[in-house]
Amino acid sequence: MAKKSRLTQVAVKIGGAIGAADRQARKVAKAGKVAKKELKDISKQLDALKQQLQKTTKRIQHALR
C-alpha cells in the first residue's frame, strides 16, 4: 500500500473532527427538541391545575356564603 501524504493525513483528521462536531451538534439539537416538548407538556399541566384551582376556589367561596 502506498504511503499517505501528509496532506491526506491532515485532511482525514480534519474530516474526523468535523464529523465528531456534527454528531455532537445533532445530539444537542435533539436534546433541545425533547426539552422543548417536555416544557410544553409541563406548561399544559400547569394550566390545567390553574383551572382546577380556580374552579375549586369558586366552589369553596360559594359554599361559605
At residue 65, the pLDDT reads 84
Residues 6+ apart with CB under 8 A from 12: 4
- How confident is residue 57, by pLDDT bands cut at 50, 70 and 90? very high
Give dist(CA 33, CA 27) in Å, integer.
Answer: 10
Q: How far apart are the first and last CA of the chain?
A: 94
Tell me the pLDDT tens digit for each residue of 13-36: 999 999 999 999 999 999 999 999
Give dist(CA 5, CA 12) in Å, integer.
Answer: 11
Tell me the pLDDT tens digit for each residue of 37-56: 999 999 999 999 999 999 99
At residue 4, the pLDDT reads 81
pLDDT at 1 over 70: no
